A and B are shown apart, each in its own frame.
Chain A
Amino acid sequence: DAGVIQSPRHEVTEMGQEVTLRCKPISGHDYLFWYRQTMMRGLELLIYFNNNVPIDDSGMPEDRFSAKMPNASFSTLKIQPSEPRDSAVYFCASTTAGRTGELFFGEGSRLTVL
């Protein structure tokens, strides 16, 4: 079975540009999570969805960040406008209700904002 698929794997952009990160969860999973990882702060939860509905977005840093899940097989995380401090690895993960504690992560999208 295919795992969680993220794109792009690498993104280099200039400050002020819009960035869109994409995620395809594992088929049949009903939870989807967006995490951000930096050396200083580790893995931080940004937002998570259950059955395509946002449940907790308290980790979204500010209004420049938005996330959508239009259907069970696709989610986006958008940053507009991007800033250098947004540089990080962004991970998408999915799981299902019967697997408490077990998240399946994608390989991440490494974002560099110049």
Chain B
Amino acid sequence: QVQLQESGPGLVKPSDTLSLTCAVSDYSISSTNWWGWIRQPPGKGLEWIGYIYYSGNTYYNPSLKSRVTMSVDTSKNQFSLKLSSVTAVDTAVYFCARRATTSSCFDDWGQGTLVTVSA
């Protein structure tokens, strides 16, 4: 059973860059899966941010594309998210998740980490 674990600062200042990492265990990140980031503002619904393949290919939500960068480190079996120029609206619980191999669903998720944007 794959395990995903997010890590990173819980507080980021406005205009700074949010940086998170997702460590994947009990499963190779080099398998035929895309690895994604999804966020959920407090009391609101889920929003897909984007995902990355082990080769480094990425695909981002068009509404966030200008501020998002994702990367993968196969040697550490982890992938990362950077979101630049954050504001209060970027305050959310950030989840990393695995997209299923043969379906467009996300079949395994990390527990999520709350990132608050505040001075």
Are A and B bound to each other? Answer: no
Residues in chain B within 8 A of chain A (CB atoms): none
